[in-house]
Each structure stands twice: as structure tokens, then as C-alpha cells.
Structure 1
Amino acid sequence: MGHKDFLPIILGSDENAYGNARLIHETYQIKPLLLCTRLLIPTMHSNLFNLVQVDRFDHDDVFPGALLSILEKHAVPNKKIVVIPCSDYYASLLTRHYSKFKGLIANHFISEELLNTFDTKDKFYKLCDQHGLNYPKTIVCEPQERENALEQMDFDFPIVVKPENSNAYEYLHSEFEGKKKVFFFDTKEDYLKMVRSMNKSDYSGKLIIQEFIPGSDNSMRVINSYSDENGKVKMMCLGQPVIEEYAPKTLGNYAAIISRSDMELYQQVKTFLEDIGYVGFSNIDMKYDNRTGKYMMFEINPRLGRSSLFVRAAGLNMIKVLIDNVVYGKDEECVYGEKKGLWTNVPKAVLQKYVADPNLSKEVNEMYKQKKVLRSLWYKEDLNLKRMLRIARYNYGHIKNFRNYYFKKQ
């Protein structure tokens, strides 16, 4: 089994893209192609991939043509091309334009019809209703209703407010004072202040207003899965976030995760994914509600997440299960994450200072002692002086962000 059998192409240049390049290097000792508009810090000064920069590659009018010419250039008999999107918009571009690449990409993606049933939170909750999954009480608010949306609230403060898709291009590129990925409000006045600021921007999407499920970051759960083209789930791994990020642009992203196991939850999510005919990688966020003992679903993303290396910390390999399936045609039983490991995107100092739960804190320290800690961007095989300096600075930025922005979400 040589590397002559396939060529991986990674779309994106963030932590997620780096994590996948690293997994490919570790497993197959080959360099994927990395396609992006520009390098972000996580992939700078790296020797793990061959870079192809394409201006406006993430735009609908550029993407299909640009990807097609790259696929055609690299297409050779008996070598399969596997494409790995690392953001929601690349995943959605692949889904929408897949037919244009016929025969050139070995792996499959979900259909546009399926994507349209969950690409915004309000649609995803309808899907949850149909499949008996729980989710928080929610108001979906049209742009013109923002100021008086709270009049229809049948739940109490505190509330959580987020754009219908915080990773959507339109929200990422809108500008207004106080912009965040997720907002937490204790009063109507605070909510209105943000909304009036947002109304001055060109963001015209819906807002999701939700009851806040009590519990801090460690009540969150995330499941990463891989489903083959027949919709059968082949790998699942559950993670418990230890802490999330707090800087406004990354608020709500997981900063560190301990891998867990919960067979009942695995079965529930597996049944759901197989019932809807899901294909490819998925990433489902939820929160454990200790008032009811139920898991409340938040969203599903059609790709691996930027924290997906927590699956590797659990001893599993999401890229290998994909390659085994689409390149080598293996069809094996579903593997469930059961081992414990710690993945972190922030320095140890941050975890020691901000993980409040004493049991978790003890567990984190144990993981460090047992050397069961994985950091996405720190990979021994890919350290040169420039990269080390860049990553050290990036880590220091995390320490500073926590100092400036951390707050308790209780």
C-alpha cells in the first residue's frame, strides 16, 4: 500500500486543515495539496503540504472552475483523489458543485437536498423534531423583527443569541461594533443594544434566540463521525469540552477536549445519521442539560471541526477510516471512541488557570502526566525555527485573550 494510490486535497488553511495534513503525514508520509485563498497562522511555515493559493477560491464563481482544473491536472489512472473540506463553506461548495467533478473525486458528500435540511439552526431543529432529538427552546427571528423578537419569548433570561449560521460567509464578512460569534445576555436592554448595532451593518440573515442551558463549557459535548457513501456510520468519537475560547471572533470554539464514551448517545446519533442518509464527516454539537438528564442538540456541521484531533487523542484516525473506505474499499464494523485523551489548542497555563471544575482539572493534570495530550499545531515532525516562533506567539495570544475576555457562563 503505497502513497501512489491516492492524492489528498485539503480545502482551507486553519487549525482543522493543519490537523488533517498532520494526520495524513503521520499515517501515510505523503504531502497533500492544500488549497486556500491565503495561509492562516496554523498552516504558516509548514512542510507538511504543497500549497496552491487561489484568489477568491471560496467564491461560487471561482471555486468550481479552479478546483476542476486542479483535479484534471492531477488526475492519473489508478490514483484516487480525495478531497477534504475544512470549513462549512467549502463543504457546501463541494455539495453544490459535486456533479461538475464527476469521476474525479473518490469520496462523496451529502446531497444539496440534505444540506438544505440542516444548514441553518432553525431547519436543523425541525429535523430534530422529526427524529425525536431534543434541542433548546428557540425563537427564529427575521432581520426586520430583531427589535421586538423578545416579545414572543416563552423562556427566561439568560439568553444566547447567534446568527443562523455563524460560519456563513455573510456573517463572517459583516462588520459592526460588539460583533461576536455568540452572544450571552442577561437583560433585554443588553440585547437591544447589540441588535441596534447589528442593524447598522449589512448582515441580513436570521438570528437564533435561545434559552441558556445551565452549566459551563464542560456541559457541552461534541460527536465527530464518518459515514460511508451508503450512509453507514463507520467511526464515532465523543468529546467533552474542558473549556471554550473567549475572544470575540472565536467565542464558543472548543479550546480543549477530553475524549469520552457513551454507547447510548452513540447509538442515538448513529441512528439519526443513518436515518437521514448522511454521507461523509459530520460534527454535532450538543449540551448536557443536568435538569433533565437529556442532551440538547445545537447544530450539525458537514465536515470535521477545528478540534477534531481530539479523536486522534482517543487513539482513532478519522482520515484513515476515510481513505480505507474510499481508496481501498474496506467495509468494516463501526468503531467507537472509548479511550481517554486530551486535545488542546491552548497552552497548559490556560487550562491550569481557567478550568474551574476540580475533577476536570485533576483529570487534565493526569493527562499531562501520562503524556496523553495532543496539540494540533505542535507536531514534532514539522518544527522549524520560523514555525516555532509563530506558534509560540499564537499560544501567547491565547493566554492574553483569556486574560482579557474570559467570563463565567453559569
Structure 2
Amino acid sequence: MTEKFQAVIVGSDISAYAFARELNDAYGIKPIIFSRFTQTVLIDSQIVTTYQADTSTDEKTIEELLFLGSRLKKEDPAQKLFLLANSDNLIVLLAHHRKDLEKYFIVPVPELDAIEKVADKESFDELATSVGMKVPGSFYVSFDKMTKEELMTQLPSADFVYPLIAKPANSSAYDLLRLNHGFKKVYVLDNESQLLQLWNDLFEAGFDDKFIVQKFVQGAETALYSITTYVDSKGDVTLLSSAHVLLQEHQPATLGIPCSMITTSYPMLFEQVQRFFAELKKQGFTYFGFANFDVKRDEETGEFYFFEVNPRIGRNHFYITGAGANPMEFLVSDIIENDPKKRVIASKKVLYTIIPKRLLLRYIDNPTMRKEIKALYRDGNVINPTLNENDKSLKRVIYQYLAMLKQIKKFRTFYPKLTKSGF
């Protein structure tokens, strides 16, 4: 029998709701949503308990978590508590304050040095190539202690042919800057002048970490893949699942986040992921928790390239549940029951989508893929975390309708028609 426990979910976006649904579906609990504001995805939800907290700074976030943890422990000393989060900066924050937080909570995130090792794209590339993963050609620029004049000389070699991809080497160091100054999550650069303008804008905004310029791997959005894993408290990979991306979001704040995917199993890639974590463990790093890999298949060569790994489960993690394995059951079995599950590959084929069917099909021009999507709809193998039969009310039905309309408007504004590159 599972011991009594409660989860505190830091955040209130669609991934937070998916966490809550997975826990509610499996254990019947109503997790606590810990956030400053309650987003519309949680409107009138009956499967969560909301806790409004001042999260305006990292210090206040930790203070509020410690206050809540103390209160919950006083109310029920026997109840186990654990934290969940799904943004790079929050994962780093929890890892950094692990010692204080563990007075009340189990903190299932990697150790800080392990996060730094895998989340920094330069060190990720080194580790990935050492275990046989292919990575795109990359050029790194460190803004730390560099003058503006020096920065303007930082250009990739001639074999980097435009268009090129530019993004932060460490997302957690960039998140607040992106939110406060309106920077994009990822940049597609068509020429050198655009690259130099980006360097100038980042410098003026006070960016002082590393940025990466990557060679473009040929292929549209449908050449992208997501791999999600759970690494248990012993350092063993016990859950593997993957999905083939059909379409990504295109508004600047969420550019590159998949909104439609088909779950698909790739044993060859799973083997590489297991070697990655085995090597990380061999090097003395303690990785514990979820991880999400971004992968792309080169449409010209057929080879798979690993772009990065995020030390968190990923915004679209409900696709794992659709594929047949609720990730919260792996976590709870490990940290609450002290009985880690044996390795499972979640491989049931489903369509994960948070946009209307007609909108999705508008951006799919491959006849075989269109046929597969229609078949999944016909057979009822379509999932959306917010369409929950156990959390239904008039307000939530209205929210769903408005959310779908909003998606149509966003695509009309930021991606009005399909392009070959997906940008």
C-alpha cells in the first residue's frame, strides 16, 4: 500500500496541470499548485488545490516553499511531501536550495553539478559524442568579460552555411532575460548581419553567459523527435518514451515547443540515451529525476542528431501517459515506496495534441502522415491533458473552446502557412 503523500507543483502552466492529472488519475490526490498567478489552464479545476505564493524573486520563492512545507508537516507529520517543477531555472533553484528544502520535501531533481554538466550545451556535446551520439556542428561564444568590440568579431568559420540556429548554451541562465527583454527561445539567422545584431542586443541587455550557433540540420518540424526518461534514485534509467513531432508553437515566447506529436518507439536512440546516463554516472555525477532530449533526423542523410537534454520532464510529458506509462507512478514508486520500477519502454501509438484537428492537418502535407493522423482520430487514440473526464465543468468546457480559438489566432499571426524549414 502506498504511503500517504502530497505533491507541491511549482508553476501553473499546461505541464503543471498534466502533473496534477497524472497524480490524480493514479492516486486520487489533489496536488497543490504553488504559483503567484493561476493560469487559465487551471480554471475551475477540481483535481488541484491552489496556493498563491509570492514568487517574484528566487529568494521569496524558497521562503514561501519553506513556509508551506513547515505548515503541511505540522498539519500531518506522517505525510511525505515532494516537489515538482518543469522549467530550467526552477530545477536549478530547487537543486541549489536542496539542503533547506529537504527539511520538509523530497526534491527529485539532479544534483547541481549534474545539471551543469548536461544542461550546458558545450559539455553536453562532449559527453554525447563520447557515447556515440551525433550532434550538430556548433560554435560557442562566451559573453563573460568580453567587450562589445571583441564580441563583434565572434563569427563562425566559413563551413557554417546560413541559415544557422542560435540559442543559449544554458537555458536557465537565459530564462529571466528572455522574459524581461522579449528575446526568443531560438533564433533562425539568415545572414551575418542578423547574427551581429543578436550579439549587440544580448550585450546591451546584460547577457553574460554562453550562446551557441549551430549548423542547420535539414528538415522541417516533422523531422523532430522528443525522448523523455526517468532516472531513478539509484541512477538507473527506468522509463523511456519518445514522440515524433508534427507541429511546434511559433509565437516568440514558446517558439519550438511541440503542440502535436505522435508517440513512436526508437530502440536505437533509447540505447544511446542509456549509454549517456551510464557514462554520466561513471564520471561521478548524480543524476536523479526526469530528462528530455531534443532530437532531429536529417532528411538528406537519415541520421539522428541530438541537440540537447533538458534536466526536466518537458512541457508535453502527458504523451508518456498516452503511450502507456504514467511517469508519476515511476516517481512515486521510487521516492515514496522506495521500490523503483523495472525499466519500461512506453510504446503505445497515440496522437498528443493541444490544437484543433483541422488546424493540425492544415500544416501536414505528407499524405502518409495525414492518413495516420486521421486514423488515430477515427480510432479514438488522441490525447490532450486538459480534456479530462474527471475534471469537467461548464467553465472548463468554455476554457477549452477559447483555448482552441486562441491557437488558431496564434498560428494565423505567427505562422500563417507551412514552410519547408518550419520557420
Q: Which category of TM-score, normalised to the shorter sequence, fits these structures?
A: over 0.9
Q: Which residues of structure 1 form unaligned runs of 5+?
A: none
Residue 383 of structure 2 corresponds to which residue in structure 1?
374
**Aligned-pair CA distance for 1:87:** 1.5
- Which deviates the most, 158-167 or 134-143? 158-167
**Aligned-pair CA distance for 1:399:** 0.9
Tell me the number of residue pairs that the alignment of Structure 1 and Structure 2 aligns.
406
Residue 408 of structure 1 corresponds to which residue in structure 2?
419
For 1:392 and 1:91, locate their aligned partners in 2 and report how far apart those are by CA, in whole Å: 32
2:273 is the counterpart of 1:269: yes
Letter matched to residue 275 of structure 1: E
Of residues 366, 369, 374, the one that matches 1:357 is: 366
Residue 33 of structure 1 corresponds to which residue in structure 2?
32
CA contact (8 A) 1:56 1:62 kept: yes
Percentage of matched positions with identical amino acids: 27
2:16 is the counterpart of 1:17: yes
* TM superposition score normalised by structure 1: 0.92
C-alpha spacing 1:41/1:206, structure 2 compared with 1 (3 Å): farther
**Aligned-pair CA distance for 1:353:** 0.6
Letter matched to residue 394 of structure 2: L
CA contact (8 A) 2:18 2:385 kept: yes
Q: Secondary structure at the match of 1:149?
A: coil
What are the superposed Cα offsets for residues 359-388 of structure 1, whole Å, 9 maximum, x if unpaired? 222111111111111112222222322332
Of residues 61, 68, 74, the one that matches 1:70 is: 68
CA contact (8 A) 2:98 2:107 kept: no
For 2:177 and 2:373, locate their aligned partners in 1 and report how far apart those are by CA, in whole Å: 35
For 1:296 and 1:71, locate their aligned partners in 2 and report how far apart those are by CA, in whole Å: 42
**Aligned-pair CA distance for 1:275:** 2.6
Letter matched to residue 60 of structure 2: V
C-alpha spacing 1:171/1:125, structure 2 compared with 1 (3 Å): farther
For 1:208 and 1:41, locate their aligned partners in 2 and report how far apart those are by CA, in whole Å: 34
Letter matched to residue 59 of structure 2: D
Q: Secondary structure at the match of 2:59?
A: coil
Residue 297 of structure 1 corresponds to which residue in structure 2?
306
Residue 157 of structure 2 corresponds to which residue in structure 1?
152
For 2:158 and 2:186, locate their aligned partners in 1 and report how far apart those are by CA, in whole Å: 18
Of residues 229, 234, 238, the one that matches 1:234 is: 238
What are the superposed Cα offsets for residues 70-121 of structure 1, whole Å, 9 maximum, x if unpaired? 1222223442212111211221111111111335333532111111112232
For 2:295 and 2:19, locate their aligned partners in 1 and report how far apart those are by CA, in whole Å: 23
**Aligned-pair CA distance for 1:286:** 1.2
CA contact (8 A) 1:174 1:203 kept: no
Residue 138 of structure 2 corresponds to which residue in structure 1?
138
For 1:230 and 1:30, locate their aligned partners in 2 and report how far apart those are by CA, in whole Å: 26
What are the superposed Cα offsets for residues 139-163 of structure 1, whole Å, 9 maximum, x if unpaired? 1123345533335353211111112
Of residues 289, 312, 324, the one that matches 2:321 is: 312
For 1:403 and 1:102, locate their aligned partners in 2 and report how far apart those are by CA, in whole Å: 46
C-alpha spacing 1:153/1:97, structure 2 compared with 1 (3 Å): farther
C-alpha spacing 1:33/1:262, structure 2 compared with 1 (3 Å): same
What RMSD in Å do the two structures reach over aligned CA positions? 2.1
Letter matched to residue 359 of structure 1: T
Letter matched to residue 227 of structure 1: V
Of residues 182, 185, 191, the one that matches 2:189 is: 185
Of residues 371, 382, 395, the one that matches 1:386 is: 395
Of residues 209, 213, 217, the one that matches 1:213 is: 217
Q: Which residues of structure 2 form unaligned runs of 5+?
A: 282-286
Letter matched to residue 135 of structure 1: V
For 2:229 and 2:373, locate their aligned partners in 1 and report how far apart those are by CA, in whole Å: 24
**Aligned-pair CA distance for 1:304:** 1.1
**Aligned-pair CA distance for 1:19:** 0.6
